[in-house]
Amino acid sequence: MSIIRMEGIRKIYDTGKVKVEALKGIDLDVDAGELVAIVGPSGSGKSTLMNLIGCLDTPSEGIYEIGGDNVAGVTRDQLAEIRNRRVGFVFQNFNLLPHITIVENVELPMLFGGVAVRERRDRAVELLTRVGLGERLDHKPTELSGGQMQRVAIARALAMNPDIILADEPTGNLDTSSGTDIMSIFTDLWKAGRTLVIITHDPALAKRASRIVEIRDGRITSDQRNEEAA
């Protein structure tokens, strides 16, 4: 079953003076259980595509269905609900709230999702323990290393048990060894049956994915299964 289905997706940024066509017609299906690596040069439209998949932004044209539901014409509140329940996002620059503890950060999606206080806390603790931060629950993000912050972000992405995990250059701000650690967490999640889409510059990391999609200048230029995955 495909979780993501895109057909003829175009995205045009209108900055007033100039119009930039970041995506020029994307057709993409992602099935449950896939680990998709998206590669391509900087400025080719990878992040734009990822933001559309995650419903952080809306396409200028084309059809987009997530979990079988068409995203076109839904209200802003419904979009918020989709982001909350179906998608877990991991960003290159972490996007954690700096002033609250990491447990509270992980609790946030559950707060918006209406999970009860106790359950929220228990699940946040459990997830953070699973990514190896069980000893630092009451730390603020700023007190952690980059690799640790990204692990918090992963725990947060898992909080609502989403259909799909999206990661936009999750290792881009990390040193090689913590990057490898983070990638291992993603592959472990994939082996446990989760669906992931990860943007990466690093060919070594891409090799661990089950499918590699290459984007150039707003178009998909190559889409290959990777038999030697993980």
Partner 1 sequence: MVTFKDVFRQLIRDVRNEKLRTFLTIFGIVWGTVAISLMLAFGTGLHKNLIKQTAGLGDRIVIAWPGLTSIPYEGLGKGRRLRINEDDIAAVRTQVRGLKAISGEYETNMKLDYAAKTMSVDISGVTAEFGAMRNEIPQSGGRFINELDDHDQRRVMFLGDRLKTNIFGDADPIGKTVLLNQSPFQVIGVLIKKPQDSNYSGPDAEKAFIPSSTFRALNGDKYVDNMIFQAASSGETKQVIKDISAAFGKRLRFDPEDKEALSMWDTTEQFHFFDIFMLAFNGFLGLVGVLTLIVGGIGVSNIMNVVVEERTREIGIKMALGAKSRWILTQFLIETLLVTIFGGAIGFAISLGVCAVFPAQLYEYVGKPEVSPVVALFTALALGIVGLVAGYFPAKEASRLDPVVAMKL
Ligand X SMILES: Nc1ncnc2c1ncn2[C@@H]1O[C@H](COP(=O)(O)OP(=O)(O)O)[C@@H](O)[C@H]1O
Task: Choose the binding region for ligand X from 38-46, 59-67, 95-103, 184-192 (rule: CB under 6 A).
Answer: 38-46
Instruction: State which of positions 12-71 bind Mg ion (CB under 5 A).
Output: 47
Cα 187 from chain centroid (whole Å): 14
Distance CA 141, CA 169 (A): 19
Q: Please state whether beta strands 164-168 and 35-39 pair in parallel, antiparallel, or not at all (unpaired).
A: unpaired
Q: What is the DSSP letter of 142?
A: G
Distance CA 176, CA 20 (A): 33
Closer to ligand X at the Cβ: 109 or 170? 170
Closer to partner 1 at the Cβ: 99 or 225? 99
Q: Give the CA distances from residue 158 to residues 4, 16, 80, 201, in Å, rounded to whole numbers and listed in that order.
A: 18, 38, 16, 24
Task: Choose the binding region for ligand X from 2-10, 25-33, 36-44, 60-68 (rule: CB under 6 A).
Answer: 36-44
Distance CA 64, CA 69 (A): 8
* 145 C-beta neighbours (distance < 10 Å), count: 11
Binding partner of residue 45 among partner 1, ligand X, Mg ion, none, CB cut-off 5 to 8 Å per kind: ligand X
Cα 89 from chain centroid (whole Å): 4
Task: Choose the binding region for ligand X from 41-49, 99-107, 137-145, 186-194 (rule: CB under 6 A).
Answer: 41-49
Task: Choose the binding region for ligand X from 46-54, 65-73, 149-157, 159-167 (rule: CB under 6 A).
Answer: 46-54
For residues 214 and 37, the answer to whether their CB atoms sit within 8 Å is no
Interface with partner 1, residue 111, by CB under 8 A = yes
Q: How many residues bind ligand X, per CB under 6 A?
A: 12
Rg, the chain, Cα only: 17
Per-residue burial over 59-76, b if 16 or more Cβ lie within 10 Å, else e, is bbebebbbbeeebeeeee
Binding mask 181-220 for partner 1 (x = CB under 8 A): ----------------------------------------
Interface residues with partner 1 (CB under 8 A) are 51, 54, 56-58, 76-77, 80-81, 83-85, 89, 95-97, 99-100, 104, 108-109, 111-114, 117, 156, 160
Interface residues with ligand X (CB under 6 A) are 13, 15, 20, 22, 40, 42-48
Interface residues with Mg ion (CB under 5 A) are 47
